[in-house]
Structure 1
Amino acid sequence: MARFHTRSMMAAVLAVALSGSLSACGGTSQSSDGDGKRITIGIKFDQPGLGFKQGSSYTGLDTDVARYVAKKLGYSEDQIVWKEAPSKQREALIQNGDVDMVVATYTMNKARSKVIDFAGPYFVAAQDLLVRSDETGITGPKSLDGKKLCSVTGSNSAQRIKQDYSSKVQLMEQSGYAECVTALISGTVDAVTTDDVILAGLASAKGNGQLKVLGTPFSKEPYGIGIKKGDTSMVSKVNKAIEDMISDGSWKKAVDSATKGTGYTPNSEFNPPTKIGDSSWIQDL
């Protein structure tokens, strides 16, 4: 009997240990079990000045905004789990519960707002073109017919060019903007298109003087924080956090840090943003 009792106790201990191990591997990203409390935030890993991973460090405006919002929600920096959120995967990451929010140069538009909710905006950029420094033939989006253009799969930048400006442009899509910059420097493509603040960071960090932002902005790109559809409580809390970040000076400090040395100046007509959470910010494309 004693042997049976000992074996039973050992089996019970093993079962509890196994259960705990499985729980640690699964579950939601927002756990409230003491030291296990975490929030998972999707960011870009390849955008200098915005969302950039270097070793174990995460830097840029998006990460600063994410840290501020997380703190307002009750999470310290070491409770943040950073997850890469490429453009084409952002909605799926939110819908599947792989992240609690996405802060990744995420333009607030109608198509996306059908499947996820947005808080914000926290910054307003504009689409522009990145070209080689000696480029003279490209003067704006209307001069791209017959040119080779690079953008990132899942972004709306290339779609806008083809739809509104240059239907004859030859489009190359890459998984990230770093690949587009490499193609531009090598001469494989003639221009890269996305938001001006992204291009400024890329030119400064990777161009070594070989690249320039054309400086002919042709869209309005309000950056929102993506949240699971229907989570109105979270949207309200995040909107309030963004308002606080702007009002207490943290927003300006973060923007100045993110754009230092790039030669980029945010459009003062829209920055810092007002009417946070207003549906008028949702763009058609």
Structure 2
Amino acid sequence: MKLRKVTAAAATALVLALTATACGGDDSSSDEGAGSGSSGGGDTIKIGIKYDQPGLGLKEPNGDFSGFDVAVATYVAGELGYQPDKIEWVETKSADRENALARGDVKFIAATYSITDERKQKVDFAGPYLLAHQDLLVKADSDIAEGTDLNGKKLCSVTGSTSAQNVKDEIAPDAQLKQVGTYSECLAGLQSGAVDALTTDDSILAGFAAQDQYQGKFKLTGLKLSNENYGIGVKKGDTATVDSINDALEKMVSDGAWDKAVEDNFGPAEYKNEPAPKIGDIVA
């Protein structure tokens, strides 16, 4: 193939044309985190999830992704025009969620992202799509049923979490707190008897308890110490995407796909989930 020589004038014209094209993208910020077809059916869409929460957002050893958040995000992406093979999953840890949206690293985030007034100052939320509560996970044969039963017992949670301290402050002042690096460590301690209970959101606990190796070994007590309204985070000001996601969530509930996702991901743990919340209905 022969390459034509480009004159200086032609080169200048080409540069000007490219510059004009590049500068023409400020009519909307909603394309960030998506491929060339952000209105649907484009190249890819980037979605933020957790990689380490079984039953919610988990990267499997074979590279696949599973969990309730993944199911919800996949359904939403489909309604936006992106088939599953057009989704690029991006790990978004809790501390980086707001920054990832602000930078445009992802189009939206579905990652046990509780809607709070503080977070709404930085990002917009669609949903909520799940109402979770702080709960306790104990051995299946444990007689612990109420938080007050934890006085004098060893209560495990991850370092940096406020869940264990909530239990101590609110209902069991004599509980012995044990903080470790991961929930998996708490589960190992619970299984061995090194700790008596593990506390965090009931959805997270159910996800761990539903794993094959743990089925039938643990149970949730139904403590419901707090309300966690999980929403889908979107870049601040991108109201068009928020509206589209809300439409998709309503459809997911009405056609039964939401109930199926709950059963598929939490069913083995006998998770007594709340009904699907109504869009914009935040439980304080």
* TM-score past 0.5 threshold: yes
Deviations 1:221-274 (A, max 9, x none): 22211112222222111111111111222222222222332222323xxx1222
Q: Which residue of 2 aligns with 1:77?
A: 84
Matches within 5 A, 1:251-262: 251-262=258-269
Q: Which residue of 1 aligns with 2:145?
A: 139
Q: Are the equivalent residues in 1 in contact too, given 2:215–2:269 (CA < 8 A)? A: no
| Cα distance in 2, alignment partners of residues 89 and 145 from structure 1 | 35
| Cα distance in 1, alignment partners of residues 160 and 81 from structure 2 | 32
How far 1:156 sits from its partner (Å)?
A: 5.2
Q: Which residue of 1 aligns with 2:123?
A: 116
Q: Which residue of 2 aligns with 1:13?
A: none
Aligned AA (2:71): D
Deviations 1:149-191 (A, max 9, x none): 3334565534533443345544444554323312322344332
Q: Helix, strand or coil for the counterpart of 1:29? A: coil
Matches within 5 A, 1:93-242: 93-136=100-143, 138-152=144-158, 157-158=163-164, 160-167=166-173, 169-205=175-211, 206-242=213-249
Q: Are the equivalent residues in 1 in contact too, given 2:210–2:267 (CA < 8 A)? A: no
| Gaps in structure 2 of 5+ consecutive residues | 7-30
Aligned AA (1:148): K
- Alignment equivalent of 2:280, drawn from 277, 281, 284: 277
Deviations 1:94-130 (A, max 9, x none): 3333322111122222232232221101122222101
How far 1:70 sits from its partner (Å)?
A: 0.8
Matches within 5 A, 1:239-250: 239-250=246-257
Task: Normalising by structure 2, report the TM-score.
Answer: 0.76
Aligned AA (1:245): M
| Cα distance in 1, alignment partners of residues 161 and 238 from structure 2 | 24
Matched, 1:30 2:37: no
Q: Which residue of 2 aligns with 1:90?
A: 97
Q: 1:141 to 1:52 in 2, by over 3 A?
A: same
- Alignment equivalent of 1:40, drawn from 38, 43, 46: 46
Q: 1:116 to 1:159 in 2, by over 3 A?
A: farther
| Gaps in structure 1 of 5+ consecutive residues | 7-26
Task: Normalising by structure 1, report the TM-score.
Answer: 0.76
| Cα distance in 1, alignment partners of residues 166 and 50 from structure 2 | 21
Aligned AA (1:277): G
Q: Give the length in aligned residue pairs.
A: 253
Q: Which residue of 2 aligns with 1:16?
A: none
Q: Are the equivalent residues in 2 in contact too, given 1:108–1:282 (CA < 8 A)? A: no
How far 1:145 sits from its partner (Å)?
A: 4.1
| Cα distance in 2, alignment partners of residues 246 and 49 from structure 1 | 19
